[in-house]
Chains A and B, each alone.
Chain A
């Protein structure tokens, strides 16, 4: 009974920490995005609120919260609000299967910095990721307006195509690791002294494409398409309800997908890898903190890379996107799986 309460307490603490990360950092990332975008276009970005506009997310939040809440006539109120929940909850839940670091001891009690180390972690992550399609479709439908509907149809099309592709893409690392648990995959990479990016570059590229499509980033932001669809399925939302969609889609999903990419391809919390030889840790002086710093560093870099892509590339047309998914990405991943199956015994030794 005693151990149950400790487990319970640990779980609660983990949940609080993860929620703080997900929502706090998620809001703060709006500032990061604006800064990166601005500097790429040679502007300084937000500068007025706080040091270099550091308090801008708070100002934005207050503004969004105090805004008038409009509801479209003939809209479906229940689905309208359900869409927000369906967008936020699954995206945040994905954090529960992301391992932030190795197991450590607090007061003689072993703690894994992962909320639930389920043995089908990856399946769970991608299943929850594909829940996003419901949020988008419902938001588009419940708004009773044409732009949201068009946008949600587009997003649904893109998501359906790229869910297939992303699942096949992560098959490579799964074969190499022989497990679906995110924690175990990282452990395997450390045991095998190999980041899977070295043997799975194709899978990584495909994964990145699919991740961009899932979080609706350029070059796959057809559902958003400011020029044609205003802002897609969020047109009829106002105030914080409007603010939540980009927050979820661009930042929380962006974080989770980059974190999963780090777990799958960059060895999670392990330091820099030389394939089959070992790891070099320039941050050794941090001691026990080093794995966590590595994980956060890698995720941040990957997220910044996504931002960088976003503010560089033009937008694809919807048919080109789905065409790429089915005609190029899917065959590529299938070939990759076959090659991986051949390669796997060498990695296992």
Chain B
């Protein structure tokens, strides 16, 4: 069944005195004299939420690896675990999950003691769609996305994340935000200013109607 909804036609008084215009104009006038709610971007920056999908990073081995999964994968691939270095086990699952696999360039190398370690891990961010499939695919919680979103550079080379950069971003992020509780927004006054005004007021449910 279709519920028919008609727009209420304007009365003659409303038409002659432009009542709709005046309503709209009062709203814009009110807003024109209210305080602005924007942040002055290059001089003021908002903190993105913890789950923000920005530039990629490699978490480093620091004792917070997901156990026992990490140890299982290390054993399976015979990986040399080094404190303060990438947790990557060179399983290539990120590359498989990626919709644009050629943006990954991953190589491992064999050490003299027979164990293996990741040697090359390049990501070409020009091809990346920031979808985060690789992060979901990572079995050892190594590859993940950070809150770094100012990704502009002066050359194409700047857009390539090498293993060193990834580890560096990872260390930095782990220091800054690892221990933050996982909420959608962190406590940010700027955000709260926006949110306080967007609070949706739901109508109360009437009983017996």
* Chain A interface (Cβ < 8 Å from any Cβ of B): 36, 38-44, 47, 205, 308-309, 311-313
Contact = CB atoms under 8 A, between A and B. Distances in A.
A308 B31 contact: no
Contact of B25 (A43, A44, A205, A308): A308
Contact of B21 (A40, A311, A313): A313
B31 A42 contact: yes
A242 B154 CA distance: 29
B28 A42 contact: no
Interface residues of B, number: 16
A228 to B, nearest CB: 22
Interface string B61-96: 000000000000000000000000000000000000
Contacts of A205: 18
Given A41-B31, A308-B29, A313 B24 contact: yes
22 contacts: A36-B32, A38-B36, A39-B31, A40-B31, A41-B31, A42-B31, A42-B34, A42-B36, A42-B37, A43-B36, A44-B36, A44-B40, A308-B28, A308-B32, A309-B21, A309-B25, A311-B28, A312-B24, A312-B25, A312-B28, A313-B21, A313-B24
A312 B23 CA distance: 10
Contacts of B29: 308
Contacts of B31: 39-42
B38 interface: yes
Interface in B44-74: none
Contacts of B21: 309, 312-313
Nearest to B197: A42
Contact of A39 (B18, B24, B32, B40): B32
A46 B195 CA distance: 25
Nearest to B18: A205
B20 to A, nearest CB: 9
A43 B38 contact: yes
A312 B26 CA distance: 9
Nearest to A205: B18
A39 B36 contact: yes
A309 B25 CA distance: 7
A40 B37 CA distance: 12
A36 B32 CA distance: 7
A41 B37 CA distance: 9
A67 B34 CA distance: 37
A234 to B, nearest CB: 26
Nearest to B20: A313
Contacts of B18: 205
A44 B25 CA distance: 19
Contact of B28 (A38, A40, A44, A47): A40
A23 B25 CA distance: 29
